[in-house]
Chains A and B, each alone.
Chain A
Amino acid sequence: MNAGIVTWGTYLPYWRLQRAAIAQVLGSGPPKGSRAVASYDEDTTTLGVEAGRRALALGPAMPDDLLFSTPAPGYLDKTSATTLHAALGLDRACAAYDFAGSPRSALGTLLMALQSAPARRTLAIVSDLRTGLAGGAEERDAGDGAAAFLCGADGADGAVAELVGRGSASDEFLDRWRVPGETDSHVWEERFGEEMYVPLAREAFAAALKDAGIAESDIDHAIVTGLHLRAVKAVTGGLGVSAAAIAPDLLASVGNLGAAQAGVALADVLERALPGQLIVVLSLADGADALVLRTTDALPAAQAARQAAGVPTVAEQVAAGRSDLSYAAFLAWRGQLHREPPRRPDPERPGAPIVHRSEAWKYAFSASRCAVCGFRHLPPTRVCLECHSVDQMQPERLADVRGTIATFTVDHLAYSLSPPVVGVIVDFDGGGRYRCEMTDVSVPELAIGSRVEMTFRRIYTALGVHNYFWKARPLQGAPVVPEPASTPASTPASTKE
C-alpha cells in the first residue's frame, strides 16, 4: 500500500517587515520586498499549532503520531510536540515527538511521517522563527512560518499526493551553525558552502528520480529550498527541468522560512497542482534530501473542500500580510530593543498542577454546554449559569468557532510585551461569551460587530515558563469593519492610539 499526504495546512504570520524599513534606519541591505514576522506573542510552537489546525480543519481523520520539527524550540528537555498535541485536541494515545535543532530535520520529519504512514497516520509539523542580528542578512532575508502535513495510507485515507521516490546525500561540514542559546547564526565563507552543496544536491536529486523511475522532463513542479541562497540558485539552474516547473521561492514576500520553507512551498504547489502531476522537493541543509510525490485524483476535491471551508492558501496568506510594521516594533518583538515595561508587577508563572487540571480549556479551548438547557460556558463549569443543573455538561471545543466583538477596550496599564493590551468581549457563534485579549489588530481598526477567530498564542513567559493560551484576532478575509451585529452591546471604548 502506498503512502501519501492526506491533507495539509500552512501558517504565515500576519505581519510583514518591509526591508526598506530596515534600510531606512540602518542604511543596510537592498530595500526590496518584505519578510514574514511572527508577532510578539508567537513562537515556533504557536506557529506550528496554527498550521496543524488548518491541516486538521476538515477532519475527521486524526493522527496516530505527531512529529514536530523546529530549529528554535520553545523548550529544551520539555517536549514542544505535547503542547501542539494538547492545543490540537489530539487523542491521548497519539504519540508526540520533537525533531529539533536544525533545518535539515524538517524535511526528515516529513519523510519519516510519509514512511510510517502506511501503518500509522502521522501528522508532521515544521515550524521556524528566524532570528538574526540587526542589520544582518538573516534578519533581512529570513521569514517565519509553519507547515503541517497529515500523512496516511493512500487507499484508506484518500491521499492527495503519494510518495513515489526519495534520495539523500549526507556530509559533515561547517556552513551555518549556532551554539544553543545564541540568537544569531554564524556562517562560513559563502563560496565554501556552495561548493559543498551543489554536488550533494545533484546526488540526492538523481537518486530520488531513479527511485521514482522518472526523468527530469517528467517533473511538473520542482521545489528547491535551503538557507544557502547561492547554492540553491546554482542547484536550481542545473536541475534540467523546465523553467516553468520551478516553484516560486516566496523570498521577496515572506522571506526564507528556514525549516518551514520546503513545507510551505510544497503546500503552495499542492494548492495549484493538477491530479497526476509529479512534484520534486529538494532541500539543501547539511547535505541534501529529495522527495518525489505524485498527485492523485483526490486532489481537486481536497482543494475545493478547503476553499469552501475558508482554509487560507499560501497565496492568500502572502497577499493578506500586513505591511506597516515598524522596524522598532520588530526589534522590540525579537528582544533586540528593550522597552520600558508598564509600572505593574511582572506576570505570575502559571502553576503546573492547575495548568494540567485545566488542560482541555487552556490548550484545546474546550468549553462546556449544558445538556439540560443548552447554555454554553467559557471556561467550562460544572454548574449551569442558566438552569443551575449540576454536572450535566458536554465538552465542546471552540478553537475553530468564530465570534463577534460585543465590546472592547484598550488597556494602557496591563502588562504586555507590546502595549497597549486590547481586551475584547467575544460572543461566539452558537452561544457563549468570553473575555480575552485580541491580537493582530491595530487600535483604530477595532469595531463592535467585527468578526473574529481564535488563535493560539504565547501570552508571556514568566520565570522560564511559557504561558500559552488563546486570543481573538480579526477573521482572515473578513472586512475590517463589517456590518453591525444584530445585538451589539456597545460602541468602541476607544479609537485613540
Chain B
Amino acid sequence: MASRGIRDRVAIIGMGCTKFGELWNKGIDDLLTDAAVEAAASAGLPIHDIDAFWLGTMTSSVSGITLSRPLKLDYKPVTRVENFCATGSEAFRNACYAVASGAYDTAMAIGVEKLKDTGYSGLTGIRAVGDGTDPGLSSPAAFSFLAPSYGHKYGVDKAQMKEVMSRIAFKNHQNGALNPRAQFQKEISMETISKAPLVAGELGVFDCSGVSDGSAAAIICRVEDAHKYCANPLYVKALSFVSGPAAGPIDPGYDYTTFPEVVRSAEDAYQQAGITDPRAQLAMAEVHDCFTPTELVLMEDMGFATRGTAWKEVLAGTFDRDGELPVNPDGGLKSFGHPIGASGLRMLFECWLQLRGEAPPERQIATVSQGRTLGLTHNLGGAPGECVSFVGIVGSELGD
C-alpha cells in the first residue's frame, strides 16, 4: 500500500479563468463557456477534440449535462464531481488520473460556481433533510475557533492576533489590487480591515473570503504529447487528497491550531514530488485562505513555518508577493473571490501564469527568475477538525 503519485506523467497544456465577482449578467452556462473557450484557445485544441471532461461544482448544478449542454458536446464523457470547497481540485485530480491511465489522450477539468443568484450574502450550503441536531454554525464561526486557540497556545495576545489576521487580509488585498480578474481589485488599509464589523468570533468582514461567481478550466494530456500543443507546459508533480475522520468536533485531544488533513496531504504531496524543504524549493503557493486564521495555520501545516512562528513570519512579510515565499500572489480566496467549484483551478491558473512568466510584470513574482520552478496549490473543504484537503504541485521543468 502506498501513495505513489503520477509525477511527470501528465501536463497542463492550456488554461482559462474568468473574472471572478458578482457577475449579475453571467449565468453558469456563460461562465463555463468563457472558461472552456479560453482554455481551449490557449492549448490550440478545439473543445470538440477533447476526449473527456471533469466538471466541478458544489451547489450550482448537478450532472455532466451541466457542461455538455452549454458546450454542445457531441457524446463525450462528462463527470460531475463535488468535494466541498476542494471541488475544483478534485475535478483536476481525477482528470489527471484518467489521462495518466491511458484511457484518454486529452481531458478538461473545469470548475464553476454561481453563488450570487441565491439572494444570500454568504454560502447557503447543501442541506439534506436532517434530525435537527446540527448546531448550524456559519462557516466563519466554524473557522473562528482557530484564532483564539492559536493565540492561546503560542502566547499571542488578542490584539496581536487581530494584527496578524489583518496583515494576511491586507497582503491578499494588495495582491488582488494588481489582478484584473480578481473580485476585489483594491488595497484595503490595516485599520479598515481590523475595525470592520464582526461576523463571527474575532473575524470581521475583511477576514472572510469573497463570495463570488466564476469559472476556471485546465486542459491536460500525457507528458509525451505536451509539446504538440504547448511550448511551455506545466508538469504535474504531485496530487494528494485526504478526507479526515471528522475527529475535531468529537475528540477532546483536538486543539483547533492545525488541520491534520492538511498535514497529511502536504506530506504525501512532498513525497510524491520529491520535495524536502518546501519553503526553499517552492516558487509560490496558492493556499485556501477562506478566512485569515486559516492561512495562518496553513503556513505551519504545510511546513512553510515551524509551529508557533507563522504569525511572526506573516508580520515580517515572508509570504508577501515580494517575500521569501509568495503565498496567494493572485489575491487568494480573500480578494480574487471564492466561487467554490472554480477555486482549485483558479489557484492552478496563477501557477500557469507565474511559473511560465506570463504574469504581468507589475505582479510577476521574483522567485521564478531566481530559478525556482515549482508551484503548490492547496484547497480544503469543511471546517477545522473535519475537512477534506488537496495539495497539488506543478512545475515548469521535467524531472525537477
Interface residues, chain A, with chain B CB atoms under 8 Å away? 343-345, 347-348, 350-351, 354-355, 357-358, 361-362, 377-379, 385, 406-407, 409-415, 421, 423, 425, 427, 431-437, 448, 459, 467-469, 487-494, 496
A491 x B129 contact (CB < 8 A): no
Contact B137 A434 (CB under 8 A): no
Q: Does B184 contact A (CB under 8 A)?
A: no
Chain A residues near B150: list those with CB within 8 A. 490
A-B contacts, 9 listed (Cβ < 8 Å): A354-B131, A361-B131, A361-B133, A410-B201, A413-B141, A413-B199, A490-B145, A490-B152, A494-B201
* A409 in contact with B132 given A414-B138, A423-B141 (CB within 8 Å): no
Most B C-beta atoms less than 10 A away, residue of A348, A377, A432? A348
Could you say which residues of chain A place their CB within 8 Å of the CB of B202? 493-494
By the criterion CB–CB under 8 Å, are B148 and A490 in contact?
yes
Identify which of A409, A467, A491 contacts B152 (C-beta below 8 A). A491
Output the least CB separation between B397 and chain A (Å): 42
Besides the contacts A350-B130, A354-B130, what 5 more A-B pairs have beta carbons closer than 8 Å? Answer: A344-B122, A410-B201, A411-B200, A467-B132, A494-B200
Interface presence of B189 (CB below 8 A)? no
Nearest Cβ in chain B — how far from A456, in angstroms?
12
Question: What residues on A are CB-neighbors of B201 within 8 Å?
Answer: 409-411, 493-494
Instruction: Knowing A434-B250, A490-B153, A494-B198, say if A413 contacts B140 (CB, 8 Å).
Output: yes
Chain B residue nearest to A492 in the complex (CB): B148
- Are B136 and A491 in contact, CB atoms less than 8 angstroms apart? no
Report yes or no: A489 in contact with B122, Cβ–Cβ below 8 A: no
Instruction: Give chain B nearest CB distance to A377 CB in angstroms.
Output: 6
- Smallest distance from the beta carbon of A275 to chain B beta carbons, Å? 45
Q: How far is the CB of B318 from chain A (nearest CB, A)?
A: 24
Cβ < 8 Å to A, chain B residues 285-325: none
- Decide: A493 near B132, CB < 8 A? Known: A377-B250, A385-B250: no
Residues of chain B with a CB closer than 8 A to A493's CB: 144-145, 147-148, 200-202
Q: Which of B145-171 contact A (CB under 8 A)?
A: 145, 147-153, 158
Tell me the minimal C-beta distance from B64 to chain A in angstroms: 27
Beta-carbon contact of A433 and B250 below 8 Å: yes
Q: CA separation between A433 and B247, bound complex, in Å?
A: 10
CB nearest neighbor in B for A344: B120
Decide if A385 touches B251 in the complex (CB within 8 Å): yes
Interface residues in B166-215 (C-beta closer than 8 Å to A): 198-202
Closest to A435 in B: B249
The 8 Å CB contact of A411, one of B124, B140, B151, is B140
Chain B residues contacting A421 (CB-CB under 8 Å) are 135-137, 141
- Residues on B with C-beta less than 8 A from A432 are 250, 252
User: How far does the Cβ of A257 sit from chain B's closest Cβ, in whole Å?
Assistant: 29
- The listed residue with most A CB atoms (<10 A of its CB), out of B132, B153, B158, B201, is B132
- Asked if residues B144 and A409 are in contact (CB atoms below 8 Å), the reply is yes
B256 within 8 A of A: yes
Q: Which residues of B contact A355 (CB under 8 A)?
A: 131-132
Smallest CB-CB A-B distances: 9 pairs: A493-B201, A490-B149, A350-B132, A411-B141, A351-B129, A467-B132, A413-B138, A409-B201, A491-B152
Min CB–CB distance B14 → chain A (angstroms): 38
Interface centre among B121, B135, B140, B255 (most CB of A within 10 A): B135
Whether A490 touches B136, Cβ cut-off 8 Å, given contacts A345-B124, A354-B129, is no
The minimal Cβ–Cβ distance linking B300 to chain A, given in whole angstroms, is 16
List of B residues within 8 angstroms of A343 by Cβ: 120-121
Q: Which of B102-123 contact A (CB under 8 A)?
A: 120-122
Instruction: Please name all residues of chain B whose beta carbon is closer than 8 Å to the beta carbon of A437 when the two chains form the complex.
Output: 135
A469–B132 Cα gap in the complex (Å)? Answer: 8
Give the distance in Å from the alpha carbon of A350 to the alpha carbon of B130 in the complex: 5
Q: CB of B127 within 8 A of chain A? A: yes
CB-CB under 8 A from B141, the residues of chain A are 409-411, 413-414, 421, 423
Q: Which residues of A contact B121 (CB under 8 A)?
A: 343
Q: A433-B252, A469-B132, A496-B198 are in contact. Are A414 and B137 (CB under 8 A)?
A: yes
Q: Chain B residues near A350: list those with CB within 8 A.
A: 129-132
Minimum Cβ distance to chain B for residue A391 (Å): 17
A459: chain B residues at CB < 8 Å are 132
| Least CB separation from B143: chain A residue | A409
B245 interface contact, C-beta 8 A: yes
CB distance from A363 to the nearest CB of B (A): 10
Are A378's CB and B149's CB within 8 A?
no
Task: Report A-chain residues with C-beta under 8 Å of the C-beta of B122.
Answer: 344, 413
Find out whether the CB atom of A409 lies under 8 angstroms from the CB atom of B145: yes
Instruction: Kindly provide the distance from the CB of B166 to the nearest chain A CB, expressed in whole angstroms.
Output: 15
B250 contact set on A, CB distance < 8 A: 377-378, 385, 432-434
Are B147 and A411 in touch, CB under 8 angstroms? no
Contacts of B151 in A (CB 8 A): 490-491
Whether B251 lies near A433 (C-beta < 8 A) is: yes
The listed residue (B132, B147, B247) touching A362 by CB distance below 8 A is: B132
Determine the distance from Cα of A249 to Cα of B73 in the docked complex, in whole angstroms. Answer: 79
A343–B149 Cα gap in the complex (Å)?
Answer: 29
Expressed in whole angstroms, the Cα–Cα distance for A469 and B149 within the complex equals 27
Residues of B within 8 A of A434 (CB): 249-250
Instruction: Across the interface, name the chain A residue whose C-beta is closest to B147.
Output: A493
Q: Please, which residues of chain B bring their CB within 8 A of the CB of A412?
A: 198-200
The answer on a CB contact under 8 Å between A347 and B136 is: yes
Inter-subunit contact A407/B148 (CB<8 Å): yes
B75-129 with Cβ < 8 A to chain A: 120-122, 124, 127, 129
Task: Please tell me if the beta carbons of A379 and B198 are within 8 angstroms of each other in the complex.
Answer: no
Chain B residues with Cβ below 8 Å from A358 are 131, 133
| Bound Cα distance from A412 to B127, whole angstroms | 20
